Amino acid sequence: MAKKDTQSVAPMWDRFALRDARLRADLLQKEAAAKLGITAQWVSMIEKGHKTPSNALVARFAKLYNRNIADFFIAR
C-alpha cells in the first residue's frame, strides 16, 4: 500500500489580489512602499510575481489595505 503524503503544502499568495487591493486603496506603488518601509521596486516585483513576500509582509499589506490576510492567499 502506498504511503499517504503527509507533507504540508505552503499556502500560495495571490499577487493579483495584492495589486487589486492597492489600487482599491487608491495608492501608487511608491506610496504603498513608503508606508510599508520597503522600496517601490520591491512592491512591483511582488505584484509581478518575481519575488515572494514573507507571511509577515503579506500581513503588513493586509493591514495597510484594511483587508483580511486570507484575502491574499489562494485556497488549495
- pTM, to two decimals: 0.81
What residue numbers bound the domain in which 29 lies?
12-74
Pair 32, 43: CB distance under 8 Å: yes
Q: Does residue 5 fall inside a structural domain?
A: no
- Rounded Cα distance, 61 and 51, in Å: 15
Q: Does residue 16 fall inside a structural domain?
A: yes
Alpha carbons within 13 A on the beta-carbon side of 42: 15
pLDDT along the chain (76 residues), means of 10: 53 89 98 98 96 94 97 84
Q: What is the pLDDT of residue 54?
A: 92
Q: What is the pLDDT of residue 74?
A: 87
Q: What is the pLDDT of residue 49?
A: 92
Q: How many domains does the chain have?
A: 1
Q: What is the pLDDT of residue 2?
A: 55
